[in-house]
Chains A and B, each alone.
Chain A
Amino acid sequence: MNAEIFEDVQETAIDQPQRSGSQLKRFVLGLPSRPGTMFLTALLFILAVCFVDSFTSTRLVPTYIKHILVSCLIYSLLTLALNFVSGYIGQTSLGHAAFFGIGAYITTLLTKYTPVNFWISIPIAMAIAALVSIPLAMVSQRVKGSFLVVITYGFGEVLRYVVINTPSLGASAGIPGVPAPLFFGTKFGRIGPSGKEAYILLAFGIVALTAFFMHRIAKSRTNYAFSAIREDEIAAVAMGINTKYYKMAAFMLSAVLSSVAGSLQATYAAFVSPEMLSSTQSILILTMVIVGGARSIKGAILGAFVMTILPELFQMVKDVLGLPFDPWMILYGLILITMMRLRPQGIWGKGAGQ
């Protein structure tokens, strides 16, 4: 029964007719639709946010906004990463915070306790994340749907408990004082007026590269294999597609990219804690992908931005009104329910271009 319902979900998502909305949208919002133009616009925007206040005596862009921007970009990288698994091969994973945490912890341990610097720690963390993702990818060969959700969830949680119970990893307190990366001998925090510019540019660069890579994959033959697996795995096997290979590739890519996001986050916040591995984090990333729109690059980035900025706004509302509870979480639940009722494919889901 499950399998059939699942197919229906996918079919409706795909058969969604391409409405003339894209032209209208471009007209109304002035959003460029070509990837190149999009990249340039985003780059100009980021540069403006970063450096406009270096030329004036007063701060035009508060540091707080720059801080949010870094968070948004790091989450964008995570949603793009999860998109490989949840979007392209259609396997819901609730354990991706584990890879995020692996990246963060490896970078922290290497830069803090060994002479290895930040730039070299990234590929090492990527390799370790890829290794750890192998068992999860193998599991996905055997188990599907809700059961894979359960397994990935359990995987993440078990890893979190291991970290919490290992004193050398800082246990539940985490590890503070992660050294900042150096750029030709200058600390990242010393570049730009508020010290966050270098992180913004680095994160933006990685997100842009990842988005470009995904864009190429979406146009390649690999994507046909991914779609075949997503739509009907048995048929894909029958057609001679090496589903094992493609699933493994999707999981590994996803893990590797998540670990890069983790490395960035660790060095940016100069602090790692087991909270980074928590299931709340995994669920957040998954909802970002779903709200933004699975299998859509723009959707994934949009989802990350929306779901990072909204809680901050509501935090302000909470502080202004002095509410004893967090209104965002209640609204978050409502958003998910209404989304699934009205637009289950996400804001920018399939059909609006990739």
Chain B
Amino acid sequence: MELLQQVINGLAQGGIYSLIAIGWTTVFGIVGVMNWTHGEVYMLGAYVGYFLCMAGMPLLPALIIAMAVGAVLAMLIDHLGYRPLRKKRKMLTAGFITALGLSTFLRYSATAAFTPDPRAYPGILDYKMLSLFSMGGSTLAISSIHMTILAATIVIMVILQLFISKTVTGKAMLAAAQDMQTLELMGAESEKLIKVTFAISGALGAAAGVFVGIIYSVNPMMGALAGLKGWSVAILGGIGSITGSLVGGLILGIAESLTAGFISTGYKDAIGFTIMIAVLLIKPTGLMGFRFEEKV
């Protein structure tokens, strides 16, 4: 019974990891840069949502505005940070260090602007424990907030999956993840495609930020750990795969909550890295990744 309860807690948490991971994995798969700033976009999205909600806006429009701001922000980051390097074709080491620099810059600017204190969202969703199932005096329960967020995550992912599989841009993105240069030869505009990728990534990151803000609180440092969880999940699920990220996120959430429940809460954050290292060593393509071994 306790095991099942932990699994349910993990699922709720895992949904958010999936959202972060998809944003990260699309950029990594298509542009090939380890986007450290993703965690920062997530943090800033959470702040936008916080300020809007504090101003009295209902959740849904606040979420949509935060996603839009996240998209614009990610596009700006790409435009100012990565695009010049891409033009000079110095992406790997230089891109990685630039991402590091951008993320440090954003994180500490946010600390300067918003103060390091954590802030809690106003109570916009009612907190209720919904009991799912009871047997022998113990009950399996999930909070209504987690439930709503898990549902919202799945809706966002379905929309994204439809976008990618039904529209031309989405299909081009899939192709770009495989081979950007060939796609360029075939007449696609890679710069435009990369812009769309960053926009999607930013919007997803911001949405995840708002969700985490509602459950816990927002602070300028929240991006760091979340960004790392994003990597772990994306690698576990397979770079570039949306379903993979969803599954990976849920698995990581469950693994974390089981570790916290049965081994030690101290090792909760380490389990993600352990899984990630094991996956990279055993099956570098991840659970549902494409085969692109030359990248590994």
A interface with B by C-beta (< 8 Å): 1-3, 5-6, 8-9, 12, 92, 139, 142-147, 149-151, 153-155, 157-158, 161-162, 164-165, 283, 287, 290, 324-327, 329-330, 332-337, 339-341, 344
Closest Cβ–Cβ distance, residue B248 to chain A (whole Å)? 14
Q: Please measure, in the bound complex, the distance between the C-alpha atom of A290 and the C-alpha atom of B94, giving whole angstroms.
A: 9
- Give Cα distance in the complex from A158 to B274, angstroms: 7
Could you say which of B34, B94, B235, B274 contacts A344, with CB atoms under 8 Å apart?
Answer: B94
Which residues of B8-57 have CB atoms within 8 Å of chain A's CB atoms?
A: 28, 32, 34
Whether B159 is near chain A, meaning CB under 8 Å from some CB there, is no
Cβ of A330 and Cβ of B92 under 8 Å apart? no
Contact B89 A5 (CB under 8 A): yes
Query: Are A333 and B101 in contact, CB atoms less than 8 angstroms apart?
Result: yes
Interface size class of B (residues with CB under 8 A): 35 or more
11 of the cross-chain contacts (CB-CB < 8 Å) are A92-B93, A143-B296, A146-B32, A165-B267, A283-B100, A290-B97, A333-B103, A334-B105, A336-B98, A337-B105, A340-B94
Task: Give per-residue flags for B76-103: 1 if the beta carbon is below 8 A from chain A beta carbons, else 0.
Answer: 0000010011000111111111101111
Given A9-B92, A324-B115, A344-B93, the answer on whether A330 and B280 have CB atoms closer than 8 Å is no
The reply to whether the CB of B295 lies closer than 8 angstroms to some CB of chain A is yes
Mark each residue of chain B from 173 to 194: 1 if its CB lies under 8 Å from any CB of chain A, else 0: 0000001110000000000000
A85 CB, min distance to chain B CBs, angstroms: 13
- Which A residues lie within 8 Å of B284 (CB)? 142-143, 147
Closest 6 CB pairs of A and B: A333-B105, A336-B101, A161-B270, A154-B273, A333-B104, A329-B108
The minimal Cβ–Cβ distance linking B30 to chain A, given in whole angstroms, is: 9
State A336–B294 Cα separation when bound (angstroms).
29
Are A340 and B92 interface neighbours, CB within 8 A? Answer: no
Closest CB in chain A relative to B149 CB, distance in Å: 27
Complex: A279 Cα to B280 Cα, angstroms = 19
Tell me whether A329 and B89 are in contact (CB under 8 A). no
Please state if A154 and B281 are interface contacts (CB–CB under 8 Å). no
Q: How far is the CB of A153 from chain B (nearest CB, A)?
A: 8
Distance in angstroms from A155 CB to nearest chain B CB is 7
Q: How far is the CA of A334 from the CA of B106 in the complex (A)?
A: 10
A158 neighbours in B (Cβ, 8 Å): 270, 273-274, 277
Q: Which residue of A lies closest to B32 (CB)?
A: A2
B103 partner residues in chain A, CB cutoff 8 A: 333
B123 an interface residue at 8 Å Cβ cutoff?
Answer: no
Additional pairs, 9, CB under 8 Å, beyond known A3-B294, A157-B228, A341-B85 = A1-B32, A1-B295, A5-B92, A145-B295, A147-B295, A147-B296, A287-B97, A332-B105, A337-B81
Q: How far is the CB of B15 from chain A (nearest CB, A)?
A: 23
A12 to B90, CA, bound (A): 9
